[in-house]
Amino acid sequence: MVDQLAGVHGIKAARAAVAFADARAESAGESISRLLIHELGFQAPDLQVEVVVKGRRYRSDFGWENGALLGEFDGRSKYKVSEGSGTPEEIVWQEKQREDAIRSDGHRVVRWIWADLDHGRLGRILTNAGVPRHTAGPS
């Protein structure tokens, strides 16, 4: 569709947005995180990275360094009770066990939430976790 709109005001921005879009982002928080990661000059992460630990498969929102460093955006809905998911305590306990298993295999995990989605906070979190940069970018 954007190819048919040559010369229309804003078409360059629209083309850039379409080129940057990735259907593997599973939530608005993941999409916004990905945009900020890019704007801050960090290396583009792999999305929906799968790791296998002791025969179990786990998936993480973001991955760098061939999965050695994993990133998780945590929205509140992840911890809401839905049919068959268990109590809030069980959901948090399962998430803790999942992350402990991933870390036990040598992977590093960094997490952030909605409140962290500003340039300063997310930049500090990713820098402190050792997320590689492709440019000097703001810190």
Looking only at the bridges linking them, the beta strands covering 108-113 and 69-74 are parallel
Superfamily of domain 24-129: VSR Endonuclease (3.40.960.10)
Q: Residue 109: beta bridge partners?
A: 70
pLDDT in tens, the chain (139 residues): 667 677 777 777 777 666 666 767 778 899 999 999 999 999 999 999 999 999 999 999 999 999 999 999 988 766 566 656 678 888 888 889 999 999 999 999 999 999 999 888 999 999 999 999 986 555 4
What are the b/e assignments for 68-91, b being 16+ CB within 10 Å? Answer: ebbbbbeeeeeeeeeeeeeeeeeb
42 contacts 126 by C-beta, under 8 angstroms: yes
The CA distances from residue 98 to 40, 42, 46, 70, 121, in Å, are 29, 26, 20, 13, 25
**Whole-prediction pTM value?**
0.80
Closest CA to 26 of 48, 4, 5: 48
Return all residues near 130 (Cβ < 8 A) that are at least 6 apart: 69, 108
Q: How far is 16 from 5, CA to CA, in rounded Å?
A: 14
